[in-house]
């Protein structure tokens, strides 16, 4: 008995000492999130998403808000075209690159930072887009980064200049890629509702907002079913740009200026490190996404001057 007591006492002392000396290294990681999926819904106005009085066109996201956060004052403060908006998200820097897929962003992307800093293979980052021209997000013109640490891509009908594809195809590819390749960082583009907006098809525009909302809900559901993702994945939803106010140019049909309709966009996030049922009124912008993703995944977006949106964290 005495020997057992002595052993117990000794192990308690060892544990205590170990505990004291190990406090810094045994502190649990700051964030639970290990994977991030960013979905960019192309070109809805804020007035048809979160600012619609009943959120009638995004019922799934509105329901998920009970477990997540959204920003009431979130803006694209750069050029309000597709490639520019996406590049602001993926690099954390506003960029004047052309919108037609013939120029790369000037700065490295969250994929490149993540793969380099974590020493992971390309397959752990996936760029999945309905628009082929967004394949440019995989690379950049910075001489130290060009051609390196690039994600795997699945853009349009088979890469640059292959044409746009339907979001239903993109949605199917997302689920396939998540289940087969288990990437840790994914950026998705859905072409709707932008496509229908440009066609002056109001009903198609609204349907595009509803349909992408459904896809987003299904992706979140999938992430809760796969043990690689469940409980350690953050899903973010944003837009590349909005569309003109009804009083500006041709209204919802186009975008590209600095009107409130073009600049004001959504930011929604759901995941283990984010507050629940929280609406932030603090000003935030597109370039803050890269810094925020870097903060929770543990990498630095060194070329970005975006801000970590700490107000959204638990």
Among 14, 52, 4, 92, which Cα is nearest to 305's?
92
Q: Counting contacts by CB under 5 A, is residue 61 touching Zn ion?
A: no
Q: Counting contacts by CB under 5 A, is residue 170 touching Zn ion?
A: no
Q: Counting contacts by CB under 5 A, is residue 257 touching Zn ion?
A: yes
Between 183 and 197, CB nearer to Zn ion: 197
Structure tokens at 310: 């700490």
Binding Zn ion (rule: CB under 5 A), the pick from 39, 40, 43, 101 is 43
In three-state form (DSSP H/G/I as H, E/B as E, the rest C), the secondary structure along the chain is CHHHHHHHHHHHHHHHHHHHHCHHHHCCCCCCCCEEEEEEEECCCHHHCCCCCCCCCCHHHHHHHHHEEEECCEECCCCCCHHHHHHHHHHCCCCCCCCCCCCCCCCCCHHHHHHHHHCCCHHHEEEEECCHHHHHHHCCCCCCCCCCCCCEEEECCCCCCCCCCCHHHHHHHHHHHHHHHCCCEEEEEEEEEHHHHHCCCHHHHHHHHHHHHHHHHHHHHHHHHCCCCCCCEEEEEEECCCCCCCCCCCHHHCCCCCCHHHHEECEEEECCCECCCEEECCCEECCHHHHHHHHHHCCCCCCCCCCCCHHHEC
Region from 26-34, 119-127, 245-253, 267-275 binding Zn ion, contact rule CB under 5 A: 245-253
Between 175 and 259, CB nearer to Zn ion: 259
Region from 185-193, 196-204, 234-242, 290-298 binding Zn ion, contact rule CB under 5 A: 234-242
CB of 80 to Zn ion, least distance (A): 7
Between 245 and 308, CB nearer to Zn ion: 245
Q: Counting contacts by CB under 5 A, is residue 62 touching Zn ion?
A: no
244 with 262: CB under 8 angstroms?
yes
Q: Counting contacts by CB under 5 A, is residue 122 touching Zn ion?
A: no
Q: Counting contacts by CB under 5 A, is residue 259 touching Zn ion?
A: yes
Query: Binding residues for Zn ion, how many (CB under 5 A)?
Result: 10
Q: Counting contacts by CB under 5 A, is residue 194 touching Zn ion?
A: yes
Whole-number Å distance between alpha carbons of 90 and 138: 9
Q: Counting contacts by CB under 5 A, is residue 240 touching Zn ion?
A: yes
Q: Counting contacts by CB under 5 A, is residue 139 touching Zn ion?
A: no
Between 50 and 299, CB nearer to Zn ion: 50
Q: Counting contacts by CB under 5 A, is residue 167 touching Zn ion?
A: no
Contacts of 147 (CB under 8 A, 6+ apart): 139
Here's the x/- map for Zn ion, 71-110, by CB under 5 A: it reads as -----------x----------------------------
Region from 63-71, 97-105, 161-169, 237-245 binding Zn ion, contact rule CB under 5 A: 237-245
CB of 287 to Zn ion, least distance (A): 17
Between 120 and 248, CB nearer to Zn ion: 248
Between 58 and 178, CB nearer to Zn ion: 58
Q: Counting contacts by CB under 5 A, is residue 193 touching Zn ion?
A: no
Which stretches of the chain bind Zn ion, using CB under 5 A?
A: 42-43, 82, 194, 240, 244, 248, 257, 259, 262
């Amino acid at each position: 008995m005495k020997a057992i007591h002595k052993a117990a006492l000794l192990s308690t002392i060892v544990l205590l000492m170990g505990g004291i000396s190990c406090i810094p290294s045994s502190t649990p990681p700051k964030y639970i999130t290990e994977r991030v999926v960013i979905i960019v819904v192309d070109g809805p106005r804020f007035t048809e998403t979160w600012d619609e009085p009943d959120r009638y066109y995004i019922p799934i996201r509105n329901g998920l808000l009970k477990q997540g956060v959204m920003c009431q004052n979130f803006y694209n403060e750069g050029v309000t075209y597709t490639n520019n908006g996406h590049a602001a998200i993926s690099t954390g820097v506003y960029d004047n690159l052309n919108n037609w897929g013939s120029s790369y962003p000037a700065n490295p992307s969250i994929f490149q930072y993540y793969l380099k800093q974590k020493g992971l293979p390309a397959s752990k980052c996936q760029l999945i887009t309905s628009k082929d021209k967004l394949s440019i997000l995989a690379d950049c013109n910075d001489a130290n980064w060009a051609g390196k640490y690039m994600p795997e891509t699945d853009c349009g009908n088979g890469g640059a200049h292959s044409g746009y594809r339907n979001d239903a195809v993109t949605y199917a590819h997302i689920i396939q890629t998540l289940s087969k390749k288990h990437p840790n960082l994914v950026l998705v583009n859905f072409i709707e509702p932008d496509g229908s907006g440009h066609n002056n098809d109001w009903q198609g525009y609204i349907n595009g907002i509803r349909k992408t909302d459904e896809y987003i809900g299904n992706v979140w559901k999938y992430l809760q079913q796969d043990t690689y993702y469940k409980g350690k994945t953050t899903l973010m939803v944003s837009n590349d740009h909005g569309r003109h106010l009804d009083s500006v140019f041709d209204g919802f049909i186009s975008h590209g200026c600095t009107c409130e309709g073009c600049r004001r966009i959504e930011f929604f996030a759901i995941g283990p490190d984010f507050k629940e049922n929280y609406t932030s009124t603090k000003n935030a912008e597109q370039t803050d996404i890269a810094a925020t993703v870097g903060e929770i995944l543990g990498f630095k977006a060194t070329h970005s001057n975006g801000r970590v949106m700490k107000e959204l964290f638990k």
